[in-house]
Amino acid sequence: MEATIRRWVKSLIIFAVLLGLLYFLIAIGDLVKLMIISAILAYVLDPLVTMIEANGLNRTPATAILFSVMTLFFALIMILLLPVISSEIVSISRSIDPEKAQAAFAQLESFLAGFTAFLGVPDLNLTTTLVDMVVQYGNDIFGNLLSVVSLFTNLVLIPFIAFFLLKDGRTIKKYLVSLVPNRYFELTCNLLYKMDIQLGNYIRGQVIDASIIGLLSILALSLLQVQNAILIGTVAGIANVIPYIGPICGAVIAIVLSLLETGDMGLVLYIAIAFIIVQLLDNVVVQPTVVAKNVNLPPLLVLLVVIIGGKFFGILGMLLSVPLTAVLKVFLVEGYTTYKQYNFS
């Protein structure tokens, strides 16, 4: 009886501590976001640092060399792409012609009404809802996106934290392991190793996948002569990180923007086909090659965590919620499997 009470009290304390920790993490949300993005960056760059190390350099100079090259590379990309993207953002907000958009959505609504009539949905009210929303909040969305990333501070802080995580990652790991009691020492080492492999593969796979999808989308949209192809393609690539929902969001953004700008319904069909082809390529060729299959998440869970992530941390929260859930899944599954293999009686 006493043992049961003790176990209950212990569980309650652990639960309270976890709840407190969650509250604390939400309270310092911005810092958590920074740490997560830095950790992802460190994970993506780790194999490159290891490759440089294999040529006889120590960890610190290897990391420094990689960061110097990366800084130059990004500076070059910024110089080349930033003016294009910012002019695309400006052109989107300028080119939105409410009248043209209204006409286009009226056309789209009548097109969709044919399909929805038999479902007993008489009026979709697409025009009023979407046009109002997009025209009123269009600028805010991009404003939020930029403010969430807090461009200048974060552009310095993220690489800075990632640099130290890369350089001192092993020392940090060694220190954390040294805190683990002897009994769980081997289990911890084993678990960390397995998690590291799975997470590394998953995160690197996702980044490569998003980059390829972004490039393919830019290519497809450019071929269709869609204005702002680079911006829309980039958004589509990033959105692709969220399974099931992301690709649809990418396509919808592209369609809505091109409708607002051109009002051409024919283009909508081509854009939809282009995105379907890109998604087919993603599912058949890219994902099986680069993304680790063992971190698959069920669709309902993805939907839930994206909603929760969005609720607490906005757009960035939606993007990070899926990789974080994957981290948690790997931790729980590997933790349980590894724990079961050990005899702790």
Residues forming contacts to other proteins in the complex (CB under 8 A) are 50, 53-54, 170, 174, 177-178, 182-183, 185-186, 189-190, 192-193, 196, 338, 341-343
Query: CB 241 → other proteins: shortest distance, Å?
Result: 27
Residue closer to other proteins by CB (options 4, 55) is 55
Residue closer to other proteins by CB (options 26, 177) is 177
Helix or strand or coil: residue 224?
Answer: coil
What is the spatial distance between Cα 324 and Cα 334, in angstroms, rounded to a whole number? 15
Q: Give Dmax over CA atoms of the chain in angstroms.
A: 74
Residue closer to other proteins by CB (options 74, 342) is 342
Query: CB 290 → other proteins: shortest distance, Å?
Result: 19
**DSSP secondary-structure letter at 298?**
-
Token pair listed for 188: 């911890």
Closest of 221, 231, 238 to residue 275, by C-alpha: 221
Residue closer to other proteins by CB (options 183, 311) is 183
Q: Are 303 and 145 in contact (CB under 8 A)?
A: no
What is the spatial distance between Cα 39 and Cα 23, in angstroms, rounded to a whole number? 21
Map tokens 């789209």 to a residue.
Answer: 108
Query: CB 170 → other proteins: shortest distance, Å?
Result: 7
Query: CB 178 → other proteins: shortest distance, Å?
Result: 7
Provide CB contacts within 8 A for 176, sequence distance 6+: none
Q: What is the CA radius of gyration of the chain?
A: 24
Query: CB 236 → other proteins: shortest distance, Å?
Result: 34
Token pair listed for 297: 């998440």
Residue closer to other proteins by CB (options 122, 181) is 181
Query: CB 177 → other proteins: shortest distance, Å?
Result: 6
Burial (CB count within 10 angstroms: exposed 0-12, middle 13-18, buried 19+), residue 157 = middle
**DSSP secondary-structure letter at 297?**
-
The runs of H, that is alpha helices, within 96-150 are: 98-116, 126, 132-149
Strand runs labelled E in the chain: none
Residue closer to other proteins by CB (options 25, 51) is 51
Residue closer to other proteins by CB (options 4, 341) is 341
Query: CB 330 → other proteins: shortest distance, Å?
Result: 16
Query: CB 65 → other proteins: shortest distance, Å?
Result: 15
Residue closer to other proteins by CB (options 137, 193) is 193
User: 297: how many CB neighbours lie within 10 A of its CB?
Assistant: 16
Query: CB 253 → other proteins: shortest distance, Å?
Result: 40
Residue closer to other proteins by CB (options 120, 181) is 181
Q: Are 32 and 25 in contact (CB under 8 A)?
A: yes
**DSSP secondary-structure letter at 56?**
T
